[in-house]
Amino acid sequence: VQKDGSLSLNKTPVSLEDLGRALRAAISEFPDKLVVVHADENSVYGKVVEAMSAASQAGVKKFALASDTAKVR
Protein backbone atom coordinates (compact mmCIF):
# COMPACT_ATOMS: atom_id res chain seq x y z
CA VAL A 1 0.00 0.00 0.00
CA GLN A 2 1.57 3.24 -1.17
CA LYS A 3 1.32 6.60 0.58
CA ASP A 4 -1.30 7.73 -1.95
CA GLY A 5 -3.41 4.61 -1.28
CA SER A 6 -2.51 2.83 -4.49
CA LEU A 7 -1.90 -0.90 -4.37
CA SER A 8 0.53 -3.28 -6.00
CA LEU A 9 1.04 -7.01 -6.02
CA ASN A 10 4.61 -8.19 -6.53
CA LYS A 11 5.50 -4.62 -7.57
CA THR A 12 2.78 -4.53 -10.25
CA PRO A 13 0.07 -1.87 -9.80
CA VAL A 14 -3.33 -3.40 -9.13
CA SER A 15 -6.81 -2.18 -8.20
CA LEU A 16 -8.48 -3.39 -5.01
CA GLU A 17 -10.88 -5.52 -7.08
CA ASP A 18 -8.07 -7.08 -9.10
CA LEU A 19 -6.04 -7.70 -5.94
CA GLY A 20 -8.66 -10.15 -4.68
CA ARG A 21 -8.82 -11.99 -8.00
CA ALA A 22 -5.05 -12.20 -8.33
CA LEU A 23 -4.60 -13.46 -4.78
CA ARG A 24 -7.36 -16.04 -5.22
CA ALA A 25 -5.52 -17.39 -8.27
CA ALA A 26 -2.17 -17.36 -6.47
CA ILE A 27 -3.38 -19.21 -3.40
CA SER A 28 -5.14 -21.82 -5.49
CA GLU A 29 -1.62 -22.91 -6.50
CA PHE A 30 0.02 -22.26 -3.11
CA PRO A 31 -2.65 -22.39 -0.38
CA ASP A 32 -0.19 -22.20 2.52
CA LYS A 33 1.71 -19.15 1.23
CA LEU A 34 2.26 -16.23 3.55
CA VAL A 35 1.04 -12.88 2.20
CA VAL A 36 3.10 -9.91 3.31
CA VAL A 37 1.20 -6.63 3.38
CA HIS A 38 3.85 -3.95 2.92
CA ALA A 39 2.65 -0.43 3.66
CA ASP A 40 4.33 2.95 3.37
CA GLU A 41 4.59 4.48 6.84
CA ASN A 42 2.41 7.38 5.66
CA SER A 43 -0.26 5.25 4.00
CA VAL A 44 -3.84 5.59 5.16
CA TYR A 45 -4.67 2.85 7.68
CA GLY A 46 -8.05 2.24 6.05
CA LYS A 47 -6.37 1.32 2.76
CA VAL A 48 -4.22 -1.25 4.55
CA VAL A 49 -7.34 -2.74 6.13
CA GLU A 50 -9.09 -2.81 2.73
CA ALA A 51 -6.16 -4.69 1.19
CA MET A 52 -6.10 -7.19 4.05
CA SER A 53 -9.86 -7.64 3.81
CA ALA A 54 -9.64 -8.32 0.07
CA ALA A 55 -6.90 -10.86 0.73
CA SER A 56 -8.93 -12.52 3.47
CA GLN A 57 -12.00 -12.72 1.24
CA ALA A 58 -9.81 -14.27 -1.45
CA GLY A 59 -8.95 -17.06 0.99
CA VAL A 60 -5.59 -15.90 2.33
CA LYS A 61 -5.09 -17.33 5.80
CA LYS A 62 -1.53 -16.26 6.65
CA PHE A 63 -0.53 -12.60 6.85
CA ALA A 64 2.51 -10.62 7.88
CA LEU A 65 2.73 -6.84 8.07
CA ALA A 66 5.73 -4.82 6.99
CA SER A 67 6.26 -1.09 6.75
CA ASP A 68 8.82 1.42 5.62
CA THR A 69 10.26 2.77 8.84
CA ALA A 70 11.13 6.37 9.42
CA LYS A 71 14.77 7.30 9.73
CA VAL A 72 15.90 7.82 13.28
CA ARG A 73 16.41 11.53 13.81
Closest by Cα among 37, 42, 32 to 16: 37
Q: What is the pLDDT of residues 9-63, one digit of tens each?
A: 989 999 999 999 999 998 898 888 899 999 888 888 899 999 999 999 999 999 8
Predicted structure pTM score: 0.80
- The whole-number pLDDT of residue 72 equals 47
Q: Please list the residues that pair with 66 across neighbouring strands.
A: 38
- How would DSSP label each residue in the chain? --TTS-EEETTEEE-HHHHHHHHHHHHHH-TTPPEEEEE-TTS-HHHHHHHHHHHHHTT---EEEEEPPPPP-
